[in-house]
Structure 1
Amino acid sequence: MADDRNGNWDVIAVPWHLDEHIPEFPIPANATETICPSLPEGAVPARMALLHQEVADAVARAARPLVLSGDCPSAWGVVAGLQRRDRDVAVVWLDAHGDFNTPTITTSGYLGGMALATLTGRTPELSSDGLGLRPVADTNIVLADARDLDPAERDALTASQVRRTPADPAALTRALDYVGHLPVYLHLDIDVIDSAELPGLRFPSGPGPSLTQIEECLAAVCATADVRAAYIACAWLPDRVSDQTTREAISRLTRALGADVAWHQ
Structure 2
Amino acid sequence: MTIVVPYHQDERLPKDVLPLPGPTDVVEVDFPEGDVWTRLVALFDVVADRVATRLDAPGAGTPVVVSGDCLTASATITGAQRAGLDPSVVWFDAHGDVHTRLTSTSGYLGGMALRLVLGAHEDQLAAPLGLRPLPEHRAVLVDARDLDPAEADYLAAGEVRHCGVEELRAPLLPDGPLVLHVDLDVITADELPGMLFPVPGGPTRRAVLDAVRRVLATGRVVAVDIACPWHPARDERETATRTGLLAELLAAAG
What is the aligned partner in structure 2 of residue 224 from structure 1?
218
Q: Which of 21, 26, 51 is the equivalent residue of 1:34?
A: 26
CA distance in 1, matches of 2:234, 2:152: 30
Instruction: Report the TM-score, using the length of structure 1 for normalisation.
Output: 0.87
Match runs of 1:198-237 below 5 Å: 198-237=192-231
Structure 1 stretch displaced more, 69-78 or 22-31: 22-31
**Identity, % of aligned pairs?**
42
CA distance in 1, matches of 2:42, 2:141: 27
What is the aligned partner in structure 2 of residue 139 from structure 1?
137
CA distance in 1, matches of 2:139, 2:234: 31
Match runs of 1:121-136 below 5 Å: 121-136=119-134
Q: Which runs of 5+ in 2 are unaligned?
A: 56-61
RMSD of the TM alignment (CA)? 1.8
CA distance in 1, matches of 2:252, 2:22: 17
Q: Report the alpha carbon displacement of residue 128 of structure 1 after superposing the two structures with TM.
A: 5.0
CA deviations on 1:118-145 (whole Å, 9 max, x unpaired) are 1111221431533100011111111110
Q: How many residues align?
A: 245
Equivalent residues of 2:32, 2:42 under 8 A apart? no
Q: Report the alpha carbon displacement of residue 254 of structure 1 after superposing the two structures with TM.
A: 2.2
Q: Which runs of 5+ in 1 are unaligned?
A: 1-9, 259-265
Helix, strand or coil for the counterpart of 1:67? strand
What is the aligned partner in structure 1 of residue 249 from structure 2?
253
CA distance in 2, matches of 1:54, 1:157: 31
CA deviations on 1:150-170 (whole Å, 9 max, x unpaired) are 1111111111100111112x5
Question: What amino acid sits opposite 2:8 in the alignment?
Answer: H
Is residue 2:171 matched to residue 1:174?
yes
Equivalent residues of 1:94, 1:187 under 8 A apart? yes
Equivalent residues of 1:189, 1:233 under 8 A apart? yes
What is the aligned partner in structure 2 of residue 44 from structure 1?
36
Is residue 2:8 matched to residue 1:14?
no
Structure 1 stretch displaced more, 158-167 or 85-94: 85-94
Question: What amino acid sits opposite 1:39 in the alignment?
Answer: F
The 3 A distance-change label for structure 1 pair 225 and 160 is farther
Q: Report the alpha carbon displacement of residue 249 of structure 1 after superposing the two structures with TM.
A: 1.8
CA distance in 2, matches of 1:27, 1:246: 7
Structure 1 stretch displaced more, 130-139 or 40-49: 40-49
Question: What amino acid sits opposite 2:200 in the alignment?
Answer: G
Is residue 2:156 matched to residue 1:158?
yes
